[in-house]
Chain A
Amino acid sequence: MDYDTLKVVWWLIVGFYLTGFALTVGFDLGIAILLPWLGRSDGERRAMLATVMGTWEGNQVWLVTLGGVLFAVWPLVYGTLFSGPYLAIMALLFALLLRPAGFDFRDKLKSPQWRRFWDWALFVGGLMPAVLLGVLVGNLLLGLPFRFDEGLRLTYRGGFLDLLHPFALVCGLVTTGLLVLHGANFLQCRTLGPVCLRARTAAAVGAAVALVGMGLAALGLVGIDGYRIDAMPDPATVFSPLDKTVAATDGGWLANFWHHPWMIAAPLTAIGGTLAAAALARQFVPAAAFWCSGAALAATLLTVGFALYPFLVPSSLDPNSSLTLWDAAASPFTLKLVLACTLVFLPVVIAYTGWVYRVLWGPINTATLNEEG
């Protein structure tokens, strides 16, 4: 496979890993956000947690593997994305760290205060990542304030508060709404009684929030600068990010949709999936609603990917330093190696994960939950 084809293939595969993460960790986060609101008694909250108890750990590995894959195939993206907005990334990590203890320690003691504490810890561990991930995506679209020197050493000018641009916050609204919708749909598939009914309402609320966010984000996208490559070396060769010229253009992120109208299918699917998910939840078809909210999540990611293409991390400080899929890639050998590894092992992972879900599937009944769990 040519190097330039390989680079595009990896853009697709990273997108696939990202989607895997969003679809699986997504409902875990959504359920954690809903925990204090839908579970009105300890038993109800236990039932909600039981829906993901056996599987959240495996789901989280999508994030871990995504991190490793980014490190391997786009080392500069990995370093820039995690060291630039340092405090935001750390806040995201700390929020995620609340989850293992929350899930595994909560039921070890019977004290109501103990359990309430972990319920709120799980809520924070769900809400903060949902918002922060959206804010980070928003900042990708806005461009991050970094530059490379000629030795490819990174300088980043900006603090945590600079990330809280209104457009980025709107993106946070989209992710939070979608994850609540997705989590609520999963809950409807696996619970009965009052929790299931309340989840149905939560799905409508999540969908509404996401749709409002999507509308505002679309307006925002017209108003913010996008970036465009003006000149670069042959994409089939190895080159450094500094070897290209990039210009900022008003509303530039819409250019791809303008030139390739078929790409509009992605935002349309995002909106349509969200609407369909809410409607199907209303009609008591939770499984279909769940797949629709999954499609909406995937399509939202794809929309962002299409808007940015071929950019991965644009730089607002020095547009030429922007990272694109052409200049951030690892060596051809490493790209092929990790590709082979993915093609061999990911289907196996998906197969045994499917088996585990099947074994653990079935509606959770509050009455059948034994205290020792």
Chain B
Amino acid sequence: MVLSDSVVELSRLQFAITALYHFLFVPLTLGLSFLMAIMESVYVMTGLPVYKEMTKFWGKLFGINYALGVTTGLPLEFQFGSNWAYYAHYVGDVFGPLLAAEGLIAFFLESTFVGLFFLGWERLSRLQHLTVTWLLAIGGSLSALWILVANGWMQHPVGAEFNFDTLRMELTDFPAVFFNPVAQVKFVHTVAAGYTTGAMFVLGVSAWYLLQGKHLGIARRSFAIAASFGLASVLSVIVLGDESGYTAGETQKVKLAAIEAEWETEAPPAAFTLVGIPDDEAETTRYAVKIPYVLGLIATRSVDEEVLGIADLRQRARERIESGLIAYRALQDLHRDREDRNARALLAAHHQDLGYALLLKRYRDDILDATPEEIDRAARDSIPKVAPLFWTFRGMVFAGFAMLFIFAAAFYYCARRIAGQKRWLLKLAFYGIPLPWIASELGWFVAEYGRQPWTVSGVLPTFLSASGLQRGDVALTIAAFVGFYSVLLVVELFLMVRAVRQGPLPQP
């Protein structure tokens, strides 16, 4: 049975909306909790009450934000079952344990200690409370670790095999899944982006106080901590977010080619397209401004390796679809006769391409009868649209470098102890507050839209993953999510602005 496209599209839209909302809150949670832990560490080491006041003040803002991170996180987990039931069946054996571990190892830690962070000031010794704050921060980053290991597996599925008895992917090698290179790069890139978000937020708000001449004690110290923590974080994001992570696995290569609008494979080292207007119809980039060699150097860390272009990747997809059809046929033979040795051998040789054959399910149910045109269309489907990826990626990189400039300048002037006099810098830091959010949302888009047409790269196409729901039901829940989340977002922004305006309370 092939699902109607509109149900799949609606479920995708709902996942995108709920994930993007969630990602408005999570990076700040990740970053702010670490900054609070650093500030409180300074308090415990020096005994200066101003650092306690600082921890409490940023903690208050953290709390407002944390509530919505929790709120928007819950539906994400349940949607894998509610809207992506076939996905849940097909890869639950691999993906499920990672979510279970996330709950057991990370969420419990974070959520159990968050209450004590707020209510424990009077009940705990200094050192105990500091431990609680660190556990809270570590819990947050650990949850990022597990969900990104899960996401990394969707991008680059390793350590699992198709089982034809149960008709699903099954976990075979847990260390391979955990130490998946794509997952590890993603983890560092994403948590560092979260730390950058927290730092930019603290830097911007402190800059605003400095401009107003209010709460100077706290603002000056917070600005300095945020500048150094932010500089280290944003450098990690940039260095570890570069495209060297895109060479592992076919879909990552496709993503890289699409991001760079690399239509044809160039002689190495490939040139980097700084900007231009990619045209998906004509498969060319108009007005392209190219920098020679740079792409080849970044992506392959060499001068003689190729960066595959879209035309070649599409040809490879066509070959893999044909190979996948052999696996699919063997699977059908095995259904009739489990002892068919020839079919077993064929399946063993071609199972890694089975997912590519499934791309044909979009056009017909009995895919063994697929026509060459249909195979051609399916191969075409294996490449996401270039223009959206090209632009969102450049937007993200621009935001990243803008933040690098702000943090570098802030760090430099803090080191010279004249940051407070540089009003242009303070204004820049304040108006730069939205930058990390722009970068995170665009980055999410690049990672997940760039993975299309797959939910699990090369294994399971998105259009097969969805639940067979009623269109009206999904439309209704999308409307409910948008309405509900938007109201909560407005409330949160109102409370945040109010708390920032109020500022830190004077010590009683």
Which residues of A are at the interface with B, using a C-beta cutoff of 8 A? 53-58, 60-61, 63-73, 75-76, 78-83, 86-87, 89-90, 93-94, 96-97, 100-101, 103-105, 108-109, 149, 151-156, 238-240, 330-331, 333-334, 337-338, 341-342, 345-346, 349, 352-353, 356, 359-360, 372
Contact = CB atoms under 8 A, between A and B. Distances in A.
B209 to A, nearest CB: 20
B468 A155 contact: yes
Contacts of B467: 79, 83, 86, 154
Contacts of A66: 103
A111 to B, nearest CB: 12
B27 interface: no
Interface string B466-508: 0111100100110010001000100100010011000001000
Given A61-B108, A356-B115, A360-B116, A97 B74 contact: yes
B484 A105 contact: no
Contacts of B477: 86-87, 90
Nearest to A81: B81
Contacts of A342: 104
B445 to A, nearest CB: 24
Contacts of B113: 58, 352, 356
B89 A338 contact: no
B165 A67 contact: no
23 contacts: A56-B115, A57-B115, A61-B107, A64-B73, A65-B108, A67-B78, A67-B99, A68-B99, A72-B96, A78-B92, A79-B85, A86-B473, A90-B480, A93-B74, A153-B468, A154-B85, A238-B163, A331-B171, A337-B171, A341-B100, A341-B101, A345-B104, A359-B124
B18 to A, nearest CB: 10
- Count chain A CB atoms within 10 A of each CB in B63, B81, B120 and give the residue with the most: B81
A330 B93 contact: yes
Interface residues of B, number: 74
B67 interface: yes
Contacts of A76: 88-89, 92
B64 A104 contact: yes
Given A68-B103, A71-B81, A82-B82, 8 more contacts: A75-B89, A78-B96, A86-B467, A97-B71, A149-B1, A154-B89, A331-B170, A359-B120
A328 B73 CA distance: 26
Contact of B112 (A69, A80, A349): A349
B66 interface: yes
B70 to A, nearest CB: 5
B61 to A, nearest CB: 11
- Count chain A CB atoms within 10 A of each CB in B99, B115, B495 and give the residue with the most: B115
A151 B118 CA distance: 51
- Count chain B CB atoms within 10 A of each CB in A83, A151, A153, A154 and give the residue with the most: A83
B111 to A, nearest CB: 4
B484 A94 contact: yes
A205 to B, nearest CB: 29
B385 interface: no
B119 interface: yes
B80 interface: yes
B89 A54 contact: no
A72 B108 contact: no
B92 A330 contact: yes
Contact of B82 (A90, A239, A331, A338): A90
